[in-house]
């Protein structure tokens, strides 16, 4: 009986110590700040906006929509959730063409890359055959703070 009690105390202490370490709010770390941003939308409470590094699968899915004569070799990308539309994320992707690097902006309703894409900026519209965000219902444009924030990751406006 004594061994059982000791094992229970050991198990509780193994769970309680890590949980106690997580309990303090020391402020936002750089990792937390890079992964999540909080913004307020007009007329509503603050909405949590996420910012993550784009997966290679997502970047490859966008590149698969390259125009017939375009070269779109994904290098890196960021995914930023929309400030105005639920379930819409912006993907800013730096890619190399046959001569130089470019930064395009697309929108998707699935940041894993298994759904539709819309081309948002001129680079995306010129290099891929994804539909124009202006043709989406509702329209998906550069006016969204999420779009601007995604491009800002590459110092592009």
122 with 128: CB under 8 angstroms? no
Please give the distance of CA 118 from its chain centroid, rounded to a whole number. 15
What is the band of 49 on the pLDDT scale with cuts at 50, 70, 90?
Answer: confident
What digits encode the pLDDT tens for the residues 81-111?
999 999 999 999 999 998 899 999 999 999 9
Could you tell me the two tokens for 25?
């709010």
120 with 90: CB under 8 angstroms? yes
What digits encode the pLDDT tens for the residues 1-14?
565 555 555 555 55
Proportion of the chain above pLDDT 70, given as a percent = 70
Tokens 């800002």, residue located: 152
| pLDDT score of 54 | 97
Residue 49 to residue 90: CA distance in whole angstroms:
11
Q: Answer yes or no: pTM beyond 0.75.
A: no
Tokens 């007009």, residue located: 42
Domain boundaries, the chain: 28-152
């Amino acid at each position: 009986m004594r061994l059982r009690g000791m094992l229970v105390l050991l198990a509780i202490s193994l769970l309680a110590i890590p949980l106690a370490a997580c309990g303090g709010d020391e402020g936002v770390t750089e990792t937390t700040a890079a992964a999540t941003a909080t913004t307020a939308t007009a007329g509503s409470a603050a909405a949590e906006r996420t910012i993550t590094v784009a997966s290679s699968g997502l970047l490859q899915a966008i590149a698969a929509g390259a125009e017939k004569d375009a070269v779109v070799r994904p290098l890196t990308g960021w995914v930023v959730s929309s400030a105005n539309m639920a379930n819409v994320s912006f993907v800013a992707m730096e890619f190399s063409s046959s001569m130089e690097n470019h930064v395009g902006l697309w929108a998707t309703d699935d940041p894993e890359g298994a759904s539709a894409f819309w081309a948002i900026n001129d680079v995306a519209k010129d290099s891929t055959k994804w539909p124009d965000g202006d043709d989406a219902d509702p329209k998906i444009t550069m006016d969204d703070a999420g779009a601007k924030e995604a491009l800002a990751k590459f110092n592009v406006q």
